[in-house]
Amino acid sequence: MTIVLKTLSGGTAEVPDAKLIGLRNALRGSLIGAEDPGYDEARAVWNGMIDRCPGLIARALDTNDIRLVVNFARQNGLLLAVKSGGHQIAGHAVADGTLLLDLSQMRGVKVDGEAATATVEPGCLLSDVDQETQRYGLAVPLGINSTTGVAGLTLGGGFGWITGKHGLTIDNLLSAEVVCADGEVRVASATKDADLFWAIRGGGGNFGVVSSFVFALHPIGPEVLSGLIVHPIADARELLQSYRDICARAPDELTVWAVMRQAPPLPFIPEAWHGKEVLIFAACYAGDMTQGEKALKELRDLGNPIADVIGPHPYAGWQQAFDPLLTPGARNYWKSNDFLALHDDVIDATLAATTALPDPQSEIFIAHLGGAMTRVEPAATPFPQRKRHFVMNVHTRWSDPALDQSCIAWARDLFDKTSPHAAGSVYVNFMPFDDDGRMSEAYGHGIEKLSRIKAKYDPHNQFRLNHNIEVPEGTKLPT
Domain limits, the chain: 2-102, 109-219, 223-438
**pLDDT for the residue numbered 472:** 78
2-102: CATH architecture:
2-Layer Sandwich (3.30)
Average pLDDT over residues 193-216: 98
**pLDDT for the residue numbered 169:** 98
The tens digit of pLDDT for each residue in 220-263 reads 989 999 999 999 999 999 999 999 999 999 999 999 999 999 99
**pLDDT for the residue numbered 477:** 46
**pLDDT for the residue numbered 251:** 98
In the chain, count H helices and then E strands.
Answer: 14, 21
291 pLDDT above the threshold of 90: yes
Whole-angstrom distance, CA of residue 117 vs CA of residue 110 = 8
479 pLDDT above the threshold of 50: no
What percentage of the chain exceeds 70 in pLDDT?
99
**pLDDT for the residue numbered 436:** 86
Average pLDDT over residues 339-368: 98
Alpha carbon separation from 6 to 10, 217, 220, 282, 431 (Å, rounded):
7, 41, 46, 45, 25
Q: In what order do the strands lie in the sheet with 117-120?
A: 109-112, 117-120, 209-216, 173-179, 185-189
Neighbouring residues of 446: CB distance < 8 A, sequence distance ≥ 6: 202, 379, 382, 384
- Encode 397-411: b = buried (16+ Cβ within 10 Å), e = exposed: bbeeeebeeebbebb
Establish whether the linkage from the previous residue to 382 is cis, with ω within 30° of 0: no
Put simply, whether the predicted model's pTM sits higher than 0.85 gets the answer yes
Short-list 373, 392, 472, CA closest to 161: 373
* Residue 21 identity: I
The third-level CATH classification (topology) of the domain covering 109-219 is 3.30.465
> Mean pLDDT for the chain?
96
Whole-angstrom distance, CA of residue 194 vs CA of residue 196 = 5
The tens digit of pLDDT for each residue in 44-54 reads 999 999 999 99
**pLDDT for the residue numbered 158:** 98
**What backbone phi and psi angles, to 5 degrees, belong to 444?**
55, -140
What percentage of the chain exceeds 90 in pLDDT?
97
476 pLDDT above the threshold of 90: no
**pLDDT for the residue numbered 478:** 43
**pLDDT for the residue numbered 471:** 87
The tens digit of pLDDT for each residue in 5-32 reads 999 999 999 999 999 999 999 999 999 9
The third-level CATH classification (topology) of the domain covering 223-438 is Vanillyl-alcohol Oxidase; Chain A, domain 3 (3.40.462)
**pLDDT for the residue numbered 154:** 98
Whole-angstrom distance, CA of residue 207 vs CA of residue 152 = 13
Quick check: helix, strand or coil at residue 267?
A: coil
Quick check: helix, strand or coil at residue 111?
A: strand
Strand partners, 13: 5
Quick check: helix, strand or coil at residue 406?
A: helix
The tens digit of pLDDT for each residue in 446-474 reads 999 999 999 999 999 999 999 999 887 76
2 pLDDT above the threshold of 90: no
The tens digit of pLDDT for each residue in 80-102 reads 999 999 999 999 999 999 999 99
Average pLDDT over residues 135-145: 97
**What backbone phi and psi angles, to 5 degrees, belong to 332?**
-135, 140
Average pLDDT over residues 272-297: 97
| Residue 182 CA, distance from chain mean position | 27
